[in-house]
Amino acid sequence: MTESRPGGLSARGRQIRGAKLLNCGYSREEQMHEEIRNELEEYLEGPANRSSLERVRRHLERCESCRQQAEQMRQQAELLRSLRAEEELAPLPGFYARVLARVEAQRRLPVLAAFLDPGFGRRLIFASLAAAIGFGSYLIYAERKPALELAGPVGFLAAQASPGEQVGGDPERDRQTMLLAVASYQE
């Protein structure tokens, strides 16, 4: 049965990790430092696993770099503890009542109050301008049928083509007209 610590690796997990470290090019000494550095946090927290803590303590007595790192971690932990609030902060009396009163006051505003908002007026003006520009563009560029009654009698007579002159009405007659035009062509 493997021994496991909360939040840490089991003994078997440390062995596997150590083998991976050796395979990655770490020497035995570097591997030892890596294992100790991984256990420093637990060492600084206090006694959870006496055998591993004793091993870390012995290593720290011999290794200056790991001892410095442990001291830095201890100082950081003290700084973080000093930032902790000493007592639970409670809201001032009447805070919740003021919040509820403000919510109720905003809920009671009439619907027409939205029209009094200056931002709403600006948005309404821009939307109206955009609609007017769009409608005006449609009116300008929409196809119009010619108003012949406004052109007068001359325009009306000029616009009407005789039924015999219209192209596309009789395909046989159009073919004959084309043949005649090609045959009578002279340079």
> Where does the chain have alpha helices with state H?
11-23, 28-45, 50-62, 64-83, 95-107, 113-116, 118-141, 148-159, 171-183
Rounded to an integer, what distance in angstroms lies between the CA atom of residue 16 and that of residue 31? 12
Rounded to an integer, what distance in angstroms lies between the CA atom of residue 4 and that of residue 13? 9
Arithmetic mean of pLDDT, 108-113? 70
| pTM of the predicted structure, to 2 decimals | 0.32
Q: What pLDDT score was predicted for residue 7? A: 45
pLDDT tens digits, 116-138:
777 888 888 999 999 999 999 88
pLDDT tens digits, 94-109:
999 999 998 887 777 6
Residues 6+ apart with CB under 8 A from 2: 10, 11, 12, 13
State the pLDDT confidence band at 46, using cuts at 50, 70 and 90.
low
Sequence spans of domains, the chain: 11-83, 118-158
